[in-house]
Chain A
């Protein structure tokens, strides 16, 4: 079964600084990978997804993520963080083929300071 590890529980960055959130997955084949964002008390919004092909994927709100098979990672990046990016970020993995559901990491809380 697939699993996801987000090593950082909480990250604080200054507004305008770059951001990288880490995600490591465990799965025997090439997975489907997702990043979701959750504002307080809200549901999850999809930022971007990787299915196949180009390992650098672009998402909404200026986010991008890079799939690195050798490192089993799918890190989320943004070159310049805005105060409105403060939220909880979840990485999720899905199995290719079959009908297994998405499995989520425990999340990384992002705080943005002036």
Chain B
């Protein structure tokens, strides 16, 4: 039973570029949440996708966008990258959008913006 899979594991981008991160949820899960974890900080909620729609959004600018596909996998897109976007991006999947069953996390994508 595969857990949450994220790709790529590491990424280096230049300021102003765009990046796409990918996530495949745990088998049986239908909801994907994305978190940003800056160095030395706790995960900060970016947004959540359920039934191919953005259901919840944290305090992140519109440069951060996402998508969920019919197979429940998801993408996180960040445009016009800033140095401050350097972080570990975590994908979490769950059964439904609430917290009832907890979240299963992937190992993350380490994004470095130079």
Contact = CB atoms under 8 A, between A and B. Distances in A.
B102 A49 contact: yes
A103 to B, nearest CB: 7
Contact of B108 (A42, A45, A46): A42
B105 A97 contact: no
A46 B105 CA distance: 9
Nearest to A91: B42
Contacts of B66: none
Given A42-B107, A44-B43, A99-B55, A34 B98 contact: no
Contacts of B99: 32, 94-96, 100-102
A41 interface: yes
A46 B102 contact: yes
B81 interface: no
Contacts, number: 71
Contacts of A105: 42
Interface of A is mostly: loop
A44 B90 contact: yes
Nearest to A98: B98
Central interface residue in A97, A102, A104, by most chain B CB within 10 Å: A102
Nearest to B98: A99
Contact of B105 (A45, A95, A100): A45
Interface in A88-114: 90, 94-107
Nearest 4 A/B pairs, CB to CB: A94-B99, A99-B97, A104-B42, A44-B105
